[in-house]
Amino acid sequence: MDRLTSRYTAFEPLGLRKTVGQLQAVIRDLYLSDTIPWVVGYSGGKDSTASLQLIWNAIGALEPGQRTKTVHVISTDTMVENPIVSMWVGHSLLKMREAAAVQHLPIQSHRLTPSSEDSFWVNLVGRGYPAPRPKFRWCTSRLKINPSNQFINDVVDKNGEAILVLGSRKRESEKRKEVIAKFEGSTRNLLSRNNNPKLDRCWVYTPIVEWSNDDVWQYLMQVENPWGYNNKDLLGMYQGATADGECPLVVDTSTPSCGDSRFGCYVCTMVDQDKSMQAMIRNDDEKEWMLPLADLRNVYLDVKDDRKHRDFRRMNKSLTLFNGRLVHGPYTQSYRAKVLRAILRAQKSVREQGPEAVRNIELVTLPELEKIRALWVESKHEIEDLLPKIYEEETGERYPGQPLDESQAFQPDDVRLLQEISGSASESDELHFQLVRELLHVEHQYRTSARRHGLYDVLDKTLEHGAFSSAEEALAFAVKRETSVGVRETDGPPVYEAADYEGVAP
C-alpha cells in the first residue's frame, strides 16, 4: 500500500516517546561527530517546528561542555508574507533567542529579508515586472533563495562546510518524495548531497523525512515546545486557514515555494487563489482587516488579463512577436502608479482596522519607496517624480524620503508645459510625450560629461524605440519586419529572464 495515502506512522512499533528518544540520540551523535555548524530552516509551520524542536531537545540533553557547535535558525521573511504568519514567526524567533540564552544553548535565530533591490514591490512597482507566472517566476530567487543562500554561504566561508537541517518529508507529496530520494545516499551517514550547485559545500539533514502528517501533529501536541511557544496555537492557526501545509525554507527552485492552500505571500500569483488567507478571513470576523491585502492580489495582480496594463514593448523597448501578437513587457507608468496607490491605501486601512500588533505595519518600506522613486525618475525617465505626491495623497502625511538632487529633476511647470505641447487626447499623444520626455532626460543626464561620449547612440536608440504612435502601428511594423527579413516568429511563448527586464536584449 502506498504510504502516502495509508495510515502509516513512523512511531510503530516503539511508540512516540521511544521513537523520538532514539531519534534525538541519533541527532546528538551527529551533532558531536564533527565541528561543522548547523543551519536550521524555520518557516513557522508544523514541519519546520517539529524539526527544530527535535534538534533543540536533543542538544539540550547534552552536557554544557559538549554544546560546542552553533546552531543557526534562519527564517526568510519575503516582506509580503501573510501578516498573521509573519507575526507568529517574528515573535517565535524572539522567544528562541531568549530561551536559548536562559538554557545556555548555542542556538541563534536570524530573520532574513531580501535587499531593497530585490524586494517584491521594487521589482513590480519600480521596474514594472509583471506579476510572477510560470514562465517568469522572478520572485522565488529574489525573495527566498538569495537571502537564505547568502547566509548559508557566509557560514560555509567561515567554517568550510555547513549542515542544513530541513523539515522536508517524503510524504508531503510524490514530487517532494522524488526530489528527496534523488539526493539521498552519500558517504556521510544521515546526510544527503545538496542539489543546489551554489551550496556545494553544504550537507542536508532531514530528521523527520519518514514522518507522516499525522506523526508531525501527534508529536507537536504531545511534546512541549522548548522555547516557550504553545503548539496548540500553531494547530489553531492551521485550522483557521484550513491549510495543511507551509512554505518551506527555499534554497533552490526544486523546492516548492508554496503549494495550493499553503501559508505564504499574500501577493502570490503562482496559485489560483490564496485559500489560507481567504479562510482566515472567512472563519474569523476579527481578521477582516486583511481584506485589503487579499484585494491587492485579486484585483491588481491578475496574470490572466494584464496585457492592457503593460507596455507593448519589452523592457528594452524591443518588439517580439508570438502567434501574430506583440509580447507585452513591463507595466505602464499609469498602472504602476495605480498599484502603488492601492498598496498605500491597503497599508492605511490595515493600520486603522487591524489589531494593535499591526498598527505600524509597513507593506512597503521607506527604502523600497526610495528605490522605486529612483527607478522611475533615473531609469525610466519619468521626470514628473510622481511618488512623493502619490504618497502624500494616499497617506495624508508628508513624504519622509530625501529630496532629489535639484539638478536631476525637472520642475513641475516644465513637465506641465511639455504635456500641453505633446497633447493628451490619444495614445499617440501619450507616446509622443513619453518620447520627448525621455529624449530631454537622456540629454540632461549627459550634461556634465566632458566628451558626452555615447549620447548620440542613446538618442538614436530612444528615437528608434519610440517611433510608434500606437501599439497597432508597432505590430504592423514588427510583422512587416519579420516577413521582409525572412525571420520566423518565436516557436513558443517566450521564457522571460531577468535580463529581459533590465534592458538587455533577449
Report pLDDT digits (tens) over 436-453: 888 888 877 777 676 777
pLDDT tops 70 at residue 506: no
First to last CA, the chain: 49
- Pair (234, 326) in one structural domain: no
Q: What grid cell was written down for 230?
A: 504553545
CATH code, 164: 3.40.50.620
pLDDT at 250: 56
pLDDT tops 60 at residue 192: yes
Report pLDDT digits (tens) over 95-126: 999 999 999 999 999 999 999 999 999 999 99
pLDDT at 493: 46
- Is residue 173 one of the residues assigned to a domain? yes
Across all residues in the chain, what is the average pLDDT? 85
- Split at pLDDT 50, 70, 90, the class of 273 is confident
Q: What grid cell was written down for 338?
A: 495605480
Residue closest to 241 by CA, chosen among 282, 298, 285, 290: 282
- Is residue 233 one of the residues assigned to a domain? yes
Decide: helix, strand or coil at residue 297. Answer: helix
- Pair (198, 333) in one structural domain: no
Report pLDDT digits (tens) over 123-134: 999 999 999 998
pLDDT tops 50 at residue 245: no
Separation between Cα atoms, residue 12 and residue 286, nearest integer Å: 42
Separation between Cα atoms, residue 157 and residue 31, nearest integer Å: 20
* Domains in the chain, number: 2
pLDDT at 456: 80
- Is residue 248 one of the residues assigned to a domain? no
- Is residue 92 one of the residues assigned to a domain? yes
The mean pLDDT value for 91-98 works out to 97
- Sheet of 202-205: strands edge to edge? 107-112, 71-76, 38-41, 162-165, 202-205
- Is residue 300 one of the residues assigned to a domain? no
- Pair (54, 202) in one structural domain: yes
Domain boundary among 186, 216, 241: 241
Decide: helix, strand or coil at residue 341. Answer: helix
- Domain enclosing residue 136, as ranges: 16-241
Q: What grid cell was written down for 113?
A: 529579508
Number of neighbouring beta carbons within 10 Å of residue 99: 19
Q: What is the pTM of this model?
A: 0.84
- Pair (196, 75) in one structural domain: yes
pLDDT at 6: 52
- Pair (339, 452) in one structural domain: yes
pLDDT tops 80 at residue 327: yes
Domain boundary among 241, 269, 299: 241
pLDDT tops 70 at residue 356: yes
**Amino acid type, 502:** E
- Split at pLDDT 50, 70, 90, the class of 177 is very low
pLDDT at 179: 38
Separation between Cα atoms, residue 176 and residue 213, nearest integer Å: 14
Domain boundary among 241, 258, 292: 241
pLDDT at 223: 96
Separation between Cα atoms, residue 302 and residue 323, nearest integer Å: 22
Q: What is the helix, strand, coil percentage profile of the chain, to 5? A: 50, 5, 40
- Is residue 1 one of the residues assigned to a domain? no
Q: Which residues contact 91 (CB under 8 A, 6 or more apart)?
A: none
Separation between Cα atoms, residue 194 and residue 159, nearest integer Å: 17
pLDDT at 203: 94
pLDDT at 117: 93
- Is residue 252 one of the residues assigned to a domain? no
pLDDT at 412: 75
- Higher pLDDT residue, 314 or 461? 314
